[in-house]
Amino acid sequence: MPRASGFLDQTQFDSENFFELKPALCCECKLFQIIDVPQASTIFHDSYPHLTSSSKVVVQHFRKLSQLVAEQYLRNSSAFLVEIGSNDGSLLEPILELGIRHLGVEPATDIANIAVEKGINTLVKFFGTDTALEIRKAYGPADVIIGANVIAHIPDINGLVNGVRTLLKEDGVFIFEAVYLGDLVRNTSYSQIYDEHVFNFSIESVQNIFRRHDLELFDAEKIDLQGGSMRYFLTPIGSKIISSRVTELLEEELKTGLNEVQTMDQFRKRCETSRENIINLVESIRGSGNRIAGYGAATKSTIILNYTGLDTDSLDFIVDSTSAKQGKYSPGMHIPIKSPEYFRNHYPDYTIIFPWNHFDEITRKEREYRNCGGQWILPLLSPEVRH
């Protein structure tokens, strides 16, 4: 696989880097992970192309999360919140509006600068133990540390957790959201496995990893984001009462055998079936003389296209609203990326929605496409065509 967010110019085709996307399950801690992990600096660089503010759904979700955290854990006037992987400040903006002390930690300079321009206090660094010590010395310990859809991106998971424990108050709370392994397996959503998603967490693996660093899972909540995610609440051992939801969710995992090798082997077979089904559908549509495009030059598009081998003979272009991606080409398959305006002036007969979890948001935005006879394709286990 190429880097999932490695959108490139034509001049870069011959120098594109690839790596082996091999998933594995640790039989000791039960953490689902990829083995061949590219250097973080090659992914989260100055021109990292993902902006959280590009999705209204995500922005609204972050605002609700900020309000929840402020009401439950940041009532003290001196309270301090740190966000790991703060991106363009979409989550911290409501915190800033409430006048709460905060700090975003974001390694991608260009994106961090967007947050700074909003007035959000931001440190341009990777988060780890050394950064945690630096922050604690400058600001004191944190009441709350948040990581929203970013903790799975940090290869040194033990260094990350140790940094959290170093920075957190003795009764502080670490909250992170991530794609839930149970939903990934259930939905056969292999497009969630890529170079940035080093890990996919379960209740059992979170318990095992964080206990090593004197942190325990005291609550967990399923959330409807990224095609199925979990919100995890952790705190220093013994400082809070453990919610019954943790026990119930763990029992569900054990009952379904989520973290067992046999379950993963069945998942692999369904991924292969999904690949075959998508290839057959696209070949049938193209064979009838129809034009196909993609919607959303997201990491999911990179994985689906390279796993299925769908290239410029299959798709005419991919539309994306992020200006930094427009005019570039998709990783590996080198399909041109166009603007929404181009899409509206060159409607294809069929369009594959790669970020399928944003189906409702995308189709609301592109109502006219359906009115003009366009048809959407959802690249699921059994691909769906929706008129």
pLDDT tens digits, 248-306: 999 999 999 999 999 999 999 999 999 999 999 999 999 999 999 999 998 999 999 99
- Looking at every residue in the chain, the average pLDDT score rounds to 93
Q: What pLDDT does 52 receive? A: 81
Contact 21, 194 (CB under 8 A): yes
Take residue 338 and report the two structure tokens written for it: 């166009």
The backbone torsions φ and ψ at residue 94, rounded to the nearest 5 degrees and listed phi first, read -65, -30
Residue 103 pLDDT > 70:
yes
Q: What pLDDT does 224 receive? A: 87
Q: What pLDDT does 50 receive? A: 67
The backbone torsions φ and ψ at residue 237, rounded to the nearest 5 degrees and listed phi first, read -55, 130
Residue spans per domain, the chain: 31-259, 289-386
Band of pLDDT at residue 357, cut at 50, 70 and 90:
confident
Q: What pLDDT does 43 receive? A: 53
Same fold, 31-259 and 289-386: yes
Residue 44 pLDDT > 80:
no
Which whole number is the average pLDDT over 32-56?
Answer: 70
pLDDT 10s digits, 196-252: 899 999 999 999 999 999 999 999 999 988 789 999 999 999 999 999 999 999 999
Q: What pLDDT does 51 receive? A: 78
Which whole number is the average pLDDT over 142-161?
Answer: 94
How many Cβ atoms from other residues are within 10 Å of residue 274's Cβ?
A: 23
Query: What is the rounded (10 degree) CA torsion for 121, 122, 128, 132?
Result: -20
pLDDT 10s digits, 170-194: 999 999 999 999 999 999 999 999 9
Going from the C-alpha of 182 to that of each of 218, 240, 301, the distances in angstroms are 19, 26, 21
Ranking 30-44, 85-99, 335-349, 350-364 by mean pLDDT, the lowest is 30-44
Contact 300, 356 (CB under 8 A): yes
User: What pTM was estimated for this model as a whole?
Assistant: 0.89
| Cα 387 from Cα 374, distance rounded (Å) | 7
Q: What is the largest CA-CA distance in the chain?
A: 65
Q: What pLDDT does 53 receive? A: 77
**CATH fold for the domain made of 289-386:** Rossmann fold (3.40.50)
Band of pLDDT at residue 45, cut at 50, 70 and 90:
very low
| E strands present in the chain | 23-25, 32-34, 80-84, 101-105, 122-123, 142-148, 168-179, 199-200, 215-223, 229-236, 292-295, 318-319, 337-338, 350-353, 375-378, 384-386
DSSP 308-343: HT--TTT-S-EE-S-TTTTTSB-TTT--BEE-HHHH
Pick the CATH number of 31-259 from 3.30.420.40, 3.30.540.10, 3.40.50.300, 3.40.50.150: 3.40.50.150
Q: What pLDDT does 17 receive? A: 87
| Cα 126 from Cα 85, distance rounded (Å) | 8
Q: What pLDDT does 387 receive? A: 76
Contact 354, 298 (CB under 8 A): yes
Ranking 41-55, 86-100, 291-305, 336-350 by mean pLDDT, the lowest is 41-55
